[in-house]
């Protein structure tokens, strides 16, 4: 995603959070916990459809893009980063992780997150999480004691929070890492450059070029033949393909070729040679120019 594209989506997010004109949020029950300021998927889709005057399917696609980029996160199904058109609960993120170009610094928060999940799950992580945990443990072994200490401190602080706050924080943190460290085999909306599985502009550019030239040829053909094709313009005295009057054909089989018939010969050699009268006149021209050997058979 480009910086301009992300800034535009952030503007939409600010509009969605407007207390007067935004998506209406209210406390919602999640199992036995009351989650404050929660919004439903159907409310998000309805607001986007009304705001941009688009149909619900387009609004659902745009909402799913906001979820895939981490601007909205689900409270129930963390693995599917899409907007569901029902009463599924979503929240706006309340904090932002700091990012850095230094891969070692960027991996420390991820290592703390995985260590904290390992403590909470008592060593039972998902397969890709366990592989990443082992990789980070081996890679940052020199500072692993610090990482585990931070994970234990954050886990202890989380247990002291109120249950709604703890649920919201855990869901948001997990959604963040699903967006920025997706499971293997999945396409991340945050990929760019060589890391991106597909170039979103490659197919668009190729399709644009493939469609551009045929369209230009079609427009040029219609502009050239508009006065000679009874399907493209009205012919006098009447169109023989629409009426039983064959006067139009009769006028064009006279001995002396008409002006429009000669004009059509100038379009291409194919037009000239496909007309019997044009072919005869061209053969006569070749004889006059002492080019009898080049007669068209």
Q: Which of 48, 66, 64, 68 is nearest to 56 (CA)?
A: 48
Query: Counting runs of H as helices and runs of E as strands, what totals does the chain give?
Result: 12, 4
The SS3 of residue 37 is strand
Q: Which helix (H) or strand (E) holds 33?
A: strand 33-40
pLDDT grade for 220, boundaries at 50, 70 and 90: confident
Q: Are 28 and 35 in contact (CB under 8 A)?
A: yes
pLDDT grade for 291, boundaries at 50, 70 and 90: low
The SS3 of residue 91 is strand
pLDDT grade for 93, boundaries at 50, 70 and 90: confident
294 vs 275 pLDDT, higher one: 275
Neighbouring-strand partners of residue 73: 91
- Does the pLDDT at position 72 exceed 50? yes
Contacts for 51 with CB less than 8 Å, ≥ 6 apart: 12, 15
pLDDT in tens, 129-181: 899 999 999 999 989 999 999 999 999 998 898 888 888 888 888 888 888 88
Structure tokens at 183: 């499971």
Mean pLDDT, residues 2-9: 76
Give the gyration radius of the chain's Cα atoms: 35
**b/e 263-280 (16+ beta carbons within 10 angstroms → b):** ebbeeeeebbeebebbee
Q: What confidence score (pLDDT) does residue 105 get?
A: 42
pLDDT grade for 192, boundaries at 50, 70 and 90: low
Mean pLDDT lowest among 53-67, 89-103, 264-278: 89-103
Mean pLDDT, residues 45-51: 93
Query: What number of other Cβ atoms are within 10 A of residue 133's Cβ?
Result: 20
Sheet strand arrangement including 26-30: 26-30, 33-40, 89-91, 73-74
275: left (phi over 0), alpha (psi -120 to 50) or beta: beta
What does the alpha-carbon distance between residue 179 and residue 190 come to, in Å, rounded to a whole number?
7
Q: What confidence score (pLDDT) does residue 99 get?
A: 41
Question: What percent of the chain is modeled with pLDDT above 90?
Answer: 17
- Does the pLDDT at position 289 exceed 70? no
pTM metric for this prediction? 0.56
């Amino acid at each position: 995603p480009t910086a301009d594209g992300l800034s535009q989506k952030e503007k939409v997010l600010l509009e969605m959070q407007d207390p007067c004109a935004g998506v209406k949020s209210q406390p919602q029950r999640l199992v036995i916990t009351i989650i404050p300021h929660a919004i439903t998927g159907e409310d998000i889709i309805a607001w986007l459809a009304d705001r941009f005057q688009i149909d619900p399917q387009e609004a659902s696609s745009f909402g799913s893009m906001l979820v895939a980029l981490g601007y909205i996160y689900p409270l129930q199904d963390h693995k599917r980063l899409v907007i569901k058109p029902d009463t599924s609960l979503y929240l706006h993120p309340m904090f932002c992780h700091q990012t850095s170009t230094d891969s070692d610094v960027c991996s420390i928060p991820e290592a703390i997150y995985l260590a904290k999940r390992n403590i909470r799950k008592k060593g039972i992580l998902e397969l890709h999480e366990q592989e990443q945990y082992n990789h980070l443990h081996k890679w940052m072994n020199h500072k692993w004691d610090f990482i585990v200490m931070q994970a234990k401190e954050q886990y202890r602080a989380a247990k002291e929070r109120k249950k709604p706050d703890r649920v919201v924080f855990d869901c948001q943190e997990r959604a963040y890492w699903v967006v920025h460290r997706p499971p293997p085999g999945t396409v991340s909306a945050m990929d760019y450059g060589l890391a991106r599985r597909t170039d979103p502009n490659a197919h668009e550019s190729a399709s644009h070029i493939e469609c551009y030239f045929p369209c230009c040829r079609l427009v040029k053909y219609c502009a050239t033949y508009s006065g000679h094709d009874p399907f493209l313009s009205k012919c006098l005295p009447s169109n023989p393909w629409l009426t039983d009057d064959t006067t139009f054909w009769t006028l064009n089989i006279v001995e002396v070729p008409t002006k429009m018939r000669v004009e059509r010969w100038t379009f291409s050699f194919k037009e000239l040679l496909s007309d019997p009268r044009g072919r005869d006149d061209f053969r006569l021209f070749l004889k006059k120019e002492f080019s009898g050997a080049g007669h068209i058979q």
